[in-house]
Amino acid sequence: MHRTISTLLFLTIVFGTVIVVTSNNWFIIWIGLEISTLALIPLLCSNFSPRNVEATIKYFLIQAMSAALLLNGALIQAWVMGSWSILEPINNVTSVAITTALAFKIGLAPCHFWFPDVLQGLPFSSGLIVSTWQKIAPLVLLFSMNETMPTTLILALSGFSVLVGGWGGLNQTQTRKILAFSSIGNMGWIVATSIYSYNTALVMLIIYLIINTTMFLILDLLNVSTLGHLNAVAQLSPVSIALVVLTTLSLGGLPPLTGFMIKFFSLYTLITNNSIIISIPLVLGALLSLFFYLRMSFNTGLILFPHHIITLTSWRNSNSLTIISIKAWLVSCLFIASTTTMPLTVFLYVII
């Protein structure tokens, strides 16, 4: 695809998200979601391979179904209340329909079944957009409607998502599927926290977007598609090992890395509001997901036996200077932000 066309489509995606975030009319929100989805479809199938087209069609069908469900709920709301405003009190049928539609768009369990397959069939660049940017609009919409949405249903979906995200990633060998289940689990943490604190959930979302973007870009830069490919990272340079291991552990939430603040802010908010019961499945799901995060880290640090150490570390024999690409500089900056900015995150949380 030509660079001008892809840039125009990406700007259209951003425009659709801005429409959703800044509007308080259900019909305009639906239009913004559809604009963002339709602009993303050509970008997803730009490679035009059978697996890529299959993933694109699955994504389109799920997004069309969720958009139709959201529009039907908005029509019922307009028929009952006589207004398209999201500020009006929502009836029970509309709240359940809209919550289900947003759960499909975000990938909350049990509406998550499409997400791992779609992400596996896409390149890392396209999967990055699906797992990060495309979730901003539905999440912000869900944040802004917490007072009118069914709290019990949202908490149940969140707890189930964390458990599914931890359990589903245990037997995966494809890195994109592991990142998909990781996203499902992290969405559960963010949505559960948003019930009690909009600002805390927003800070958690920003941290997650930075860490997840770093992880996708590192795996794309190193061309790591399976856990077996992680063994070859040691052949590139010691810096590559540090990038993968620290970013993976930060995504898993180990202190003192930045990703730990996602779990800390969420548990602090839930316990402060006496939500001990919902905290139990969140902690159990985090322990399950930590297993495959550690497995990725161990595979990255392993050295293939019985190869000679000189052949494995061929970077030692290279005397030529190479120009660092823009993507490598971007990965380096995001890596610093996703692993060493925990004090800055605490300061941002206190201010907000």
pTM: 0.89
Distance of CA 292 to the CA centre of its chain: 17
The owner of tokens 């998550």 is 112
Q: How far apart are CA 101 and CA 80, in angstroms?
A: 19
Q: What is the 3-state secondary structure (H, E, C) of 1-30?
A: CCHHHHHHHHHHHHHHHHHHHHCCEHHHHH
Question: pLDDT for 313-344, tens place per residue?
Answer: 554 555 554 445 666 657 767 777 777 776 66
Angle at 334 between CA 329 and CA 336, to 5 degrees: 100
Per-residue pLDDT of the chain (352 residues; tens, 9 = 90+): 677 888 899 999 999 999 999 988 899 999 999 999 999 999 988 777 888 899 999 999 999 999 999 999 999 988 888 888 888 888 888 888 999 999 999 999 888 889 999 999 999 989 999 999 999 999 999 888 877 778 888 999 999 999 999 999 888 889 999 999 999 999 999 999 999 988 889 889 998 999 999 899 888 888 888 888 887 776 766 778 888 888 898 898 888 888 888 898 899 999 999 888 889 999 999 999 999 898 888 888 765 544 444 444 554 555 554 445 666 657 767 777 777 776 666 666 666 6
Q: How far apart are CA 309 and CA 62, in angstroms?
A: 49
Would you kindly state where each structural domain of the chain is located, as residue ranges? 3-351
